[in-house]
Amino acid sequence: QQFGLLSMILLVLNVLTPLCSLGLNEAVTRYVPQYETRGALWGFVVRSFGLLLALTGASVLLICLFSKPLGDFFYAQATDAVTRSLFGKDAPELAQLSAVVIGLLIVYFYLLAVMKGLRMFTAISVMEMVHGFLFLGLSVLAIAMDHLSAFTLTALYGISLLIPAVYFGFGLARSVAGWRVQRDGPHDDRWAQRLLKFSVWTTLAGITWQVLVYYPQWYLNKMHGHEAVAVFSAVRQIGNFILIGAVAVVTVVMTTVTKTWESRGQAAAQRQLSLAFRGTGLALLMLCVVLALFKDVIILMFRAEYSPGAAILPLHLLFFVIGAFLAFLPIHFHLIEKA
């Protein structure tokens, strides 16, 4: 039940994070290379971060104020009255904790967005590794102290976001502030309009995708409880590796193609995108075939209760490989928009 509840919490975080930030992080990645080229990066970073903090603060406050109805809707939906009553008591606290973690996620993703725009891929990898190892270490400590619950793991997830966000955030600020060439560029009075105009579509796309991912588990939770959600989520985590691989490639390709466009022109950028799409697509299809063929062996990494999930693994793989292909579309639209 706790694993199923944790899966619901993580999905809620994924749905609400782009909504609460209005998709500004994607827009920041889009415009950082432009302001870097103009020599006005520092001013853009300061102003965009201030706008993001204002949106984040308002969103976190609203979720906390309406924690009771939101908590009941997200975490205590069940046809069984006993189950609904059991999880309903903790639902408001889970909603408040989710609000805090959403705020940390938005700041964390903002730092990643700036670093992506600056093509600081080594720094991104180190920051992600620090976050991952922190969460793993804290989770193992919680298990050793017999405090393993969905609430505890969510709180530890927030801590594992906070520490690298503070450390790498101050480091990034010092680095960008020290680039004197990035302080003297022309001021753009329309920076907020540009960001919000771009972020409207990224917000809609992000929320639509996350809702499509969230709804099946929400319905399972409502009809069959957290146990069914646990099996469904465990198998989904296997398929999610496909999308993670695609997103990692897209992150690199997005900024590389943008820089190629600015330095070598549209044709070179389109060729670069086409090669990346075909190479990544072939590799992911081969990985899906291997995972589907050995699904009964792979499911053994979980407890015996999760074995029925092997039957739905190929469907999950199909879903995520299509999602992986679609992840390249924003780059194509980005090139069209630049033209």
pLDDT, residue 73, reads: 78
HEC-encoded secondary structure of the chain: CHHHHHHHHHHHHHHHHHHHHCCHHHHHHHHHHHHHHHCCHHHHHHHHHHHHHHHHHHHHHHHHHCHHHHHHHHHCCCCCHHHHHHHHCCHHHHHHHHHHHHHHHHHHHHHHHHHHHCCCHHHHHHHHHHHHHHHHHHHHHHHHCCCCCHHHHHHHHHHHHHHHHHHHHHHHHHHHHCCHHHCCCCCCCCHHHHHHHHHHHHHHHHHHHHHHHHHHHHHHHHHHCHHHHHHHHHHHHHHHHHHHHHHHHHHHHHHHHHHHHHHHCHHHHHHHHHHHHHHHHHHHHHHHHHHHHCHHHHHHHCCHHHHHHHHHHHHHHHHHHHHHHHCCHHHHHHHHHHC
39 in the Ramachandran plot: left (φ > 0), alpha (ψ -120 to 50) or beta?
left
Q: What is the pLDDT of residues 64-81, one digit of tens each?
A: 999 888 887 777 665 555
The Cα–Cα gap between 60 and 77 comes to 22
pLDDT, residue 135, reads: 92
pLDDT, residue 269, reads: 83
Which of 254, 288, 214, 258 shows the shortest CA–CA distance to 7?
Answer: 214
Block residue for tokens 């994070």: 17
The Cα–Cα gap between 301 and 286 comes to 21
For the chain, 339 residues long, give each residue's pLDDT as a single digit of tens: 676 677 778 888 888 888 888 878 888 887 888 778 777 788 888 888 898 899 899 999 999 999 888 887 777 665 555 555 656 677 888 889 999 999 999 999 999 989 988 888 888 889 999 999 999 999 899 888 887 788 888 899 999 999 999 999 998 888 888 776 666 656 667 777 777 777 777 777 777 777 777 777 777 777 776 677 778 878 888 888 888 888 888 878 887 887 788 777 778 888 888 888 888 889 889 988 988 898 888 888 887 878 888 888 888 888 888 888 888 887 777 777 665
